Amino acid sequence: MFGPDCACLVVVGAQWGDEGKGKLVDVLAESADLVVRYQGGANAGHTVVIGDEQFILQQIPSGILHPGTSCVVGNGVVLDPQTFFEELDRLHAKGIATDGRILVSDRAHLVLPYHKLLDQAGEKSQKIGTTGRGIGPTYEDKYGRRGLRVGDLRNQDQTRKLLVERLERANALLEMLGATERASLDQHTALLQRIAPRLLPLTTDTGLVVDRAIKAGQRVLMEGAQGALLDVDHGTYPFVTSSNTTAGGAAVGAGIGPTAIDAVLGVVKAYTTRVGNGPLPTEARDERGAELRRLGGEFGAVTGRARRCGWFDATVVRYAARVNGLSGLAVTKLDVLDSFAEIPVGTAYQIDGDPCEEFPAGVELLERARPVYQSLAGWKRSTGEARTLADLPREARVYLDRLEQLAGVPIRYVSVGTRRDQIIAV
């Protein structure tokens, strides 16, 4: 999608996450100079397959797998420093050189062990089905103006003072939540002392870096995590993550103005999945749902949890197109549908017998939403070797045309397998 009119492109998930953004970003990063993560943290799991090797990237932008590309972890990310370096070391062990290719924002907030304890304790009553990575409590601290930022590591004495207050509060909360574990000041201090010398050399004002890259005419790719329906404002609240996963979050989380963004690519699976609790109107609760899970390998990249599976939900994607201002769609995992004789597509909802074409705000309404399905003919042939639309069976093209029409956004890419080359540019 990069070209004369597009130097700054945002890639977002347009369902409930796990749409295959990692693969799209990997493919697009080939022509990008800079890849920027702008929200979320180690709750994300972006899977990229290169040859026989599978990489699962959690906090490091998928662009790292292209030697000519630099990567930025922006201010909107909540950074778990421990797993960040584990991830970096795993890349090094696989021969990926990252020196001088990754920068971290001094404004990014740190996810610390106490955030994970709070996340796990909170889950016992709230039951959102979080990844347990401390994401929610870290964003709570950020917006409560009591977070610790990467740049704070420059002043260890001040950081220790802040930590004392934070841990006192965290331990009081843990007690209130009935948790038995407590956060230890020694453990936190030791962790920060250990990671600071490694993290600080990578730390800078990344908003300035991104701005300079854009002004120098470089190509910048913004890599979203999770999906629109997990956005804290626009998703199925409270069953959401704690950041703005939609394209507006890219400007804020990368530290640039919205006018710098040229296009937004929404990634959707050819069907729908969700991990964690909350409404999923087109969930297939029968054996076909289990078949989608088996064929699509639908198990969480971070937690290994089985994903809930169902049919393409056009109400969701139309809504995601609106709240993201999508310029194009990338449809992934079309090949997973290869063996189905008939494929239902949810075109709208009925709620309490009334038609509903717009995605409602309340989960109580969504729990009562009954999808209106249109059944499309399957193609019963393998699509994994298709490299142009013309290579696809006629029924698969009809299927894609219908998704495009229902979503109201042109399809720009179709992915037909996990490998880098298994992609059709439309």
Which residues sit at the interface with ligand IMP, rule CB under 6 A? Answer: 17-18, 43-45, 128-131, 133, 135-136, 225-226, 230, 239, 241-242, 275-276
Q: From the candidates 26, 33, 46, 109, give the one annotated as an active-site residue.
A: 46
- From the CB of 225, what's the least distance to ligand IMP, in Å? 6
Contact criterion met (CB below 8 Å) for 416 and 20? no
111 versus 254: smaller Cβ distance to ligand IMP: 111
Could you give the CA distance from residue 240 to residue 285 in angstroms, rounded to a whole number? 22
Active site residue 115: no
Residue nearest to ligand IMP (CB): 276
Nearer to ligand IMP, 17 or 328 (CB): 17
Smallest separation, CB 19 to ligand IMP (Å)? 9
Q: How far apart are CA 12 and CA 30, in angstroms?
A: 18
Of 136 and 207, the one with the shorter C-beta distance to ligand IMP is 136
What span, in angstroms and rounded, lies between the C-alpha atoms of 79 and 88?
13
Distances (CA, A) of 272 to 83, 227, 361: 29, 12, 19
Going by C-alpha positions, the residue among 68, 67, 54 that lies closest to residue 22 is 54
Is the Cβ of residue 227 or residue 417 nearer to ligand IMP in the bound state? 227
Min dist. Cβ of residue 139 to ligand IMP (A): 9
Please confirm, yes or no, whether 46 is among the known catalytic residues.
Answer: yes
Q: How far is the CB of 301 from ligand IMP (least distance, A)?
A: 7
3-state SS, residue 302: coil
Nearer to ligand IMP, 238 or 257 (CB): 238
CB 5 within 8 A of CB 191: no
Q: CA 213, CA 296: separation in Å to the nearest integer?
A: 37
User: Considering beta carbons, is residue 242 or 415 the nearer one to ligand IMP?
Assistant: 242
Q: How far is the CB of 40 from ligand IMP (least distance, A)?
A: 7
Q: Long-range contacts: 83-86, Cβ < 8 Å, 24+?
A: 83/42, 83/58, 83/59, 84/42, 84/59, 84/60, 84/199, 85/195, 85/198, 85/199
- Residue 199 C-beta-side C-alpha neighbours within 13 Å: 28
Q: Closer to ligand IMP at the Cβ: 171 or 242?
A: 242
N- to C-terminal Cα distance for the chain? 10
Nearest to 28 by CA among 3, 56, 52: 3
Place of tokens 């002004």: 215
Question: Closest distance between ligand IMP and the C-beta of residue 250, in Å?
Answer: 16
Closest CA to 81 of 185, 196, 189, 161: 196
| Minimum CB–partner distance for residue 415 and ligand IMP (Å) | 17
Cβ-contact 352, 371 below 8 angstroms: no
Judge whether 112 and 162 are in contact, CB under 8 Å. no
Alpha helices in 16-155 (DSSP H): 21-29, 81-93, 113-126, 135-143
Q: Catalytic residue positions?
A: 18, 46
